[in-house]
Amino acid sequence: MSVFAAKSCACGCHGKASCPAPEGPNHQGHSDNPTSQASSDDASARHEITILVVSGCVFALSMIFEARLDAALGPWAVRLAYAIPYLLCGVGIFREAIGEMRKGDFFNEFALMCIATVAAICLGELAEAVGVMLFYRIGEFFQERAAAGSRKSIASLLAAKPSMARLARDGQTCLVQVEDVAVGDIFEIRAGELVALDAQVISGESRIDQSPLTGESLPVRVTPGSAVLAGSINMSGVLLARATSRYIDSHMARILEMVEHAAERKSPTERFISRFARWYTPAVVALAVLVATLPPLILPGASFSAWIYRALILLIISCPCALLISIPLSYFGGIGAASRQGILVKGGNVFDALLQIDTVVFDKTGTLTEGRFAVVALYPAAGLDESALTSAAFIAERHSAHPIAQAIRRHGEELAMKDAEGEPQSLEHPGKGMEVRHDGARYLAGTKAFLQEMGVQPGDCPLPEQPGALVYVARDQQFLGLILAADRIRADARAAISELKSLGLSTFMLTGDHDKPAAWVAAECGIDGFKSGLLPEEKVMALKEIVVKSKNNTTTPEGEPDREAARIAFVGDGVNDAPILAIARVGIAMGGIGSAAAVEAADVVILNDSPAQAANLFKLANKVRVNVWENIALALGIKALVMALGIAGISGLWEAVFADVGVALLAVLNASRLMRK
């Protein structure tokens, strides 16, 4: 698969058609290398592993042969043997500690490690000083690798960013930066290439893989007139497409911007942990000073060396890295896990907000329903089958631009029906129906009154309970039956509402549609209540009324409902939903067909337009919260236990290393579980 992502060509052609170098992924500069950053990270990891392996081996040999070295060469040889791994692991930590102290942060974890190990050396505890430094360095390495793993799924989105387009001009193609393509420009998409911009296909047929954007594994068939999204992959064939937006306004660009800024929106729990660490570490350091000085002055027979050793244990334990690393990692892991499912969460704060929701309000058209007419039922006249009815309707409606006619045409195409030979004579009767003469026969499709006006008497047919548009069909003077066209409920809408209710959430629907179809959709999906016939501004007022009635409603000084206090989530897709998405505590936009305004206003974007993803989102928020509190309990619980044992003289520096580095690793591994779900 060739991927264009270079900013300019290495040969200086800047993507011109006359470029002397070969096109494709082997042309340096014309093809992006998304693994370059990964290669740099791998080189850094190999360097770190080398230091840790060498230090570990030298440390192990020093401990095994300590007595023999002392006997053969004296104490200086033992000190030299321990100094090698200590300096290999410690120089970088000392450098970091000095850098942080210059910034005014005297209680950083690097400084605590340095102070504790230097004090241990002064007390003659060489092996323990080296062990603390070595295992701290090992812990930092694994924490960084775990964090890198949690970023992988989001990084895969960034790697899918197209940056070159194959512009088609005067019968030739040339590579240009996507930012230089204007709306209306035509570009070529070859097999295996990324679609560079949001566009409409004007020539060619293929299948498009949209999984980098939506998580949907099945390719989508595209033909002339189909829309394609930037970042999706052309599976086969060559397409010519006309850009429908600039790259900066494209679907992919909006997604990347949201992903890149997601980590900046911290949750209340993350902010609390950061504030907690500011006083927690100084408090433990102060406690360590008291432990080192007061007991020897108060307790008879107590030695300064013994109590300083116990104080060192507190210094090592006081590092809050298990909390400062694992808690944000839990939220970041949740963001990554959601993105793998085609759900973009704009920040960790969204997960906490979701746990405060008690009512989920849905838009109807395009959210719970597919947003376009489709043939949902066929009612052939007595003695006829469905194929005869469908064939006649297809002939009558195939050249009409009416949405209902388009639904009948799509239904016929799904059944592999083709246009009849010859040029039919079509006459549209506005507001009534279509009259088509073809191959000596007259085909009619429209309202019941239209057929009666044309001299055809519709026979008795069972009328459907489902609301929708009824299309009566006739050939010559024979009534063939009727077709029900309606906006279909999405396949997973019922299951989504049921799942939300099982989580203890109420559901409501707001729609501009008429009362009868709204009532039918609400009943079919099992929604608790609805309001219909709403204009866009009336939708806003209706949601405000729901917010005002919520359990812990408060208002702003301007008298508006306080969004942060509301317990309402809204799921919508259209441009008229953007103000409502901004009012709700959590706004969830259907991003696949949703407007740019709705996507920008929302806190969450569902890329595959599936209502079931809303229920998955709430379940993921619960998992993130459980993971966060598991890490808090794990870190603080074990640290408190080892602190108490250290003050009592029961635990030593080795236990302190576990309470710091070991617990941090356990918390990070626990947070990483979210990425594997």
Catalytic residues: 363
| Cβ(516)–Cβ(556) below 8 Å | no
Burial (CB < 10 A; 0-12, 13-18, 19+), residue 57, is exposed
Amino acid type, 225: G
User: What is the full DSSP assignment across 506-547?
Assistant: EEEEE-SS-HHHHHHHHHHHT-SEEE-S--HHHHHHHHHHHH
Reading the block at residue 583, the tokens are 């009012």
Up-side HSE of residue 53: CA atoms within 13 Å toward CB? 6
Residue with tokens 């008229």: 576
Reading the block at residue 337, the tokens are 């896990």
DSSP 90: H
Beta-bridge partner residues of 243: 199
Cβ-defined contacts of 352-355 (< 8 Å, 24+): 352/267, 352/268, 352/269, 352/621, 352/625, 353/585, 353/586, 353/603, 354/569, 354/586, 354/617, 354/618, 354/621, 355/621, 355/622, 355/625
Q: Which residues, in sequence order, are CB contacts of 535 under 8 Å at separation 6+?
A: 512
Q: Which residues, in sequence order, are CB contacts of 644 under 8 Å at separation 6+?
A: none
Residue with tokens 């489902």: 466
Pairing relation of β-strands 199-203 and 433-438? Answer: unpaired
C-alpha 135/C-alpha 655 separation (Å) is 12
Beta-bridge partner residues of 590: 606
C-alpha 277/C-alpha 311 separation (Å) is 19
Up-side HSE of residue 55: CA atoms within 13 Å toward CB? 24
Q: Which residues, in sequence order, are CB contacts of 537 under 8 Å at separation 6+?
A: none
| CA angle, residues 391, 395, 400, in degrees to nearest 5 | 130
